[in-house]
Structure 1
Amino acid sequence: MSIAQVNGERQATPQRLRTVQDRRLHVPVHVVWEITLACNLKCGHCGSRAGKRRANELSTAECIDVVRQLAAAGTREITLIGGEAYLRRDWLEIAAEIARLGILCSVQTGARGLTKERIAAAYAAGVRAIGVSVDGLRDLHDSLRGVSGSHDQAIRAIENIRAVGIEPGVNTQINALSMPQLPQIFDEIVAAGARSWQVQLTVAMGNAVDNAALLLQPHQIIEVVDCLARLYHKGRDIGFRLLPGNSIGYFGRHEPHWRSLTSNIEHWTGCNAGETTLGLEADGTIKSCPSLPKSHYSAGGTRSTPIEDALRNLESRTVRRDGNRGRSFCGSCYYWNTCQGGCTWVSHVLESKRGDNPYCYYRATTLAKRGLRERIVKVAEAPDQPFAVGRFEVRLERADGSRAPRSLGLDDKRRKRGRLVLCRSCDEYIYAAERACPHCGAAHGPETAADETFRREIQTSIDEVERHGRRILEIAGMAGGDIPARE
């Protein structure tokens, strides 16, 4: 496994890091697999409406065959989900086969009933990453998850996972109720021993459509991202990693800091659904992404369609090949040719098609400078089915809430193509061919990739010195003494 330098420490390159060749060959690098829809929670925001197992879930033998097909296709990580994955009796057998074939096996869980014994058995089977859902402080989490005591069980699971020898992660859905609690959630999960925190938006699918008051309004993404960026830097100082999910972003002043999985400075490059990511349902349905509805994004089922054929079936539906030119602000956006409208899931669930994503940091901040904001309004309910979507209208408003014409809600910077680099003045991404930064107006000469890397290495070194300085002050404070002045 290759090694990268992160904050001066040697770290293994993440399994789900995509290469140019992965994208060109459509290698399913990361597969998220719902192995059962059975669940012991009653989440008011659950997109899959989990609860009861599907009537025709794959057999153990069929699951083992799927694992072997994925290994042959080049998959490097499989995340087992549900429902609740460990409610399936043969989940450890499936996990063991994944690990035996050299694929990283991870699990995402609500953790109700995830005992020490189950965690130890998972580790013995080869599970090496477990993410626990924590969606708020105790009262809010229990309310969202529909079961009293589920919060305490989740926190206890984090502690037990770490005790077994796995570095625990946490996942949090951000909605109108959890947004104000993000700093407190950060402190709570760090204290419990979590080492990473993936955050994503509660998206308008399934139960969340029924409870639409939970959904963030698009203009609130500014407050959310600014808060998360502060927590990202706070976490970095203590060796804790905040990971923005595919629904969080995009571009703006925070983008250079938190998107990369390695020490390289990277940015959002578009949705990977069906390209290097696959989703599987418990009945064998193969989808571009685990969150997307199969009505639009299914490539068949594993009982009749080999994984290799399914990947070919999905090629024309990836963001780089589906011909979508974007709508509204996204259709006019400076970053469209790189971003392609952000997360397909977020945009599709609103209007049953992708290409117009109002939950975009760059979009929201650009509109805010003009005194404009966007709001979503539900106009149709979702059917009572897993992964069902309703219909929402995206409205452009002035600050006083009055409607504004859509013509005012377009980007004022022309679409461009090419390689993105950082502006030397404002640290926002711009296209390398620009003579002047479209964001701050500063003159921009040609900058090589080596120039950018060197500049970021200097900044990383400065950050590291500052981090150690703060740590020295903390140690001195705990010791009750003063740091002697240098002569």
Structure 2
Amino acid sequence: MKEGYPVLKEDIFLAKIKTPSGFKVKVRNTTTEQNFTATPLMFIVLELCTGTNTVPEIIKTLCGEAHSSDAVIKNIESIVKLLLENNIITMNKTPSKGRSIKEIKLKYPLEAAQIEITNKCNLSCLHCFNNSGNPHPHELTTQEILSAIDALSRGGVHQITMTGGEPLLHPHIFNIIEHARKAPMSVDLFTNGTLITEDMVNQFKNRIRRFNISLDSVDASIHDTFRGKKGALEKTLQAITLLKEAGFPMKFTISLSQLNKSTIKDVLRYFKENNLTEFTITPVRYSGRGKTDITVSLEEYYQVSKEYLTYCKQEFPEGILKKHKKERDECSIARRSMLIKSDGTIFSCPGCDRGPAIGNVRDTDLETLWEHDGLLDKIRGITANTDTTCKMCAYLDFCVGCVAGAYSFQETLRCCYPFLCILNRAYDEVVGFT
């Protein structure tokens, strides 16, 4: 057995989460995004891997003063070895206090969050739901952002997406990322890509899990018009090349509008040629600057969805995200994820940024709000199984609905989001549910 003081690795999220029947343990590597299943004895050993106990001291603590059998000693040593091999713990040469295990007592433990670290943006996109451009007059300070990340971590968040505006315009972006990594959280960055340089890419290594990049067309006349700045496409494509060469995972969002509805296949061909398989095609939302004549109708979205699914089925099957029977009966809104806006306003879901708000990080305790807010309880009661339209749908077994999408489209709290219904219909006709 390797000598030293076993301690939890800095990127391991370890939490004891309260459940109606007791508690469950979550062990997650925030760098690789892999979960690790811990047995009850393994969890007890992890509790003692504080960085101040040697393995013999851990064995003595577990067995008391009584003589330990060789079998017991070997069992504990094998657990420590397994934890080392799976990069859950490491060995310090000298005693040094490590992180304590998180204890999460929320009825609805958080898992993920999105935070707008600034509303400032270098583009002026026609469809921007956020009306981004200038900083919000009451933007969170860097210290307030760090405090919000700490509060999210206490609530169970182990995955955070930083967005804006354009997050790379924040002067302390790398300090914020580093703080989240130490929480520990995996960090995604939602960016237009135009500001990414080779030096930045090197700084992103071991810090960013995945980049979410907006790409609406590979035709500069369309993309640049859509994004409100000449040369935007060229810079975004350069960033994609840099990130791809560095091995970063990327996910792309194509904002579907009247401007690009006839050129989606060109973007898909670009994805295929560059082996970029993660993307979503999302209709421009009816909010912010999206409330214009560039939005597509339900019928137009249906036709585009059929066209892109048909192309992918025939030419680019890796680009189709397979739909299977749902594992849960409800979407994550008000249950597992939340959004914090650049001014500190809290929303129940990253997709529900236009209301209704549930508070502000400046004047409320996040955990108390999440546990006791009446509006959140109301939202949690909305499910596809109870929605008057959803519960009669042929795709109920595969779809949890989208409360945020429904609200942005109809300003009504319900599950049925017509654009999602249309996508399910197109998917079933072209690919088929399994």
In structure 1, C-alpha distance between the alignment counterparts of 2:122 and 2:353, rounded to whole Å: 23
Among the aligned pairs, what percent are the same residue?
19
Inter-CA distance 140–362: structure 2 relative to 1 (3 Å threshold): closer
Query: What is the aligned counterpart of 2:331 among 271, 282, 298?
Result: 271
1:318 aligns with 2:379: yes
Inter-CA distance 308–52: structure 2 relative to 1 (3 Å threshold): same
Amino acid at match of 1:166: F
Q: What is the match of residue 310 of structure 2? A: 230
In structure 1, C-alpha distance between the alignment counterparts of 2:355 and 2:112, rounded to whole Å: 22
SS of residue matched to 2:409? helix
Q: Return the TM-score normalized by structure 1.
A: 0.60
* Distance apart, 1:170 and its partner CA: 1.8
In structure 1, C-alpha distance between the alignment counterparts of 2:226 and 2:110, rounded to whole Å: 32
Q: What is the match of residue 419 of structure 2? A: 359
Inter-CA distance 165–205: structure 2 relative to 1 (3 Å threshold): same
Q: What is the match of residue 158 of structure 2? A: 76
1:306 aligns with 2:388: no
* Distance apart, 1:154 and its partner CA: 0.9
Gapped regions of structure 2 (runs ≥ 5): 1-11, 13-31, 36-103
Q: Return the TM-score normalized by structure 2.
A: 0.67
Could you tell me whether the CA contact under 8 Å between 1:170 and 1:197 is conserved in 2? yes
In structure 1, C-alpha distance between the alignment counterparts of 2:424 and 2:266, rounded to whole Å: 25
* Distance apart, 1:91 and its partner CA: 1.1
Could you tell me whether the CA contact under 8 Å between 2:116 and 2:165 is conserved in 1? yes
* Distance apart, 1:222 and its partner CA: 2.8
In structure 1, C-alpha distance between the alignment counterparts of 2:260 and 2:239, rounded to whole Å: 21
Gapped regions of structure 1 (runs ≥ 5): 2-11, 16-21, 244-257, 370-425, 430-487
In structure 1, C-alpha distance between the alignment counterparts of 2:311 and 2:154, rounded to whole Å: 39
1:86 aligns with 2:168: yes
Q: What is the match of residue 323 of structure 2? A: 259
Amino acid at match of 2:224: D
Amino acid at match of 1:358: P
In structure 2, C-alpha distance between the alignment counterparts of 1:218 and 1:268, rounded to whole Å: 27
Q: What is the match of residue 182 of structure 1? A: 264
Inter-CA distance 350–315: structure 2 relative to 1 (3 Å threshold): closer
1:214 aligns with 2:294: yes
Q: What is the match of residue 342 of structure 2? A: 282
* Distance apart, 1:156 and its partner CA: 0.8
Could you tell me whether the CA contact under 8 Å between 2:339 and 2:353 is conserved in 1? no
SS of residue matched to 2:263? helix
* Distance apart, 1:177 and its partner CA: 3.0
Larger radius of gyration: 2
Q: Which moved more, 1:80-89 or 1:135-144?
A: 135-144
The 5 A counterparts of 1:17-96 are 25-96=107-178
Inter-CA distance 27–179: structure 2 relative to 1 (3 Å threshold): farther
Could you tell me whether the CA contact under 8 Å between 1:232 and 1:241 is conserved in 2? yes
1:127 aligns with 2:127: no
Amino acid at match of 1:225: S
In structure 1, C-alpha distance between the alignment counterparts of 2:149 and 2:174, rounded to whole Å: 13
Could you tell me whether the CA contact under 8 Å between 1:30 and 1:277 is conserved in 2? yes
In structure 1, C-alpha distance between the alignment counterparts of 2:208 and 2:333, rounded to whole Å: 24
SS of residue matched to 1:132? strand
In structure 2, C-alpha distance between the alignment counterparts of 1:142 and 1:122, rounded to whole Å: 26
* Distance apart, 1:191 and its partner CA: 3.3
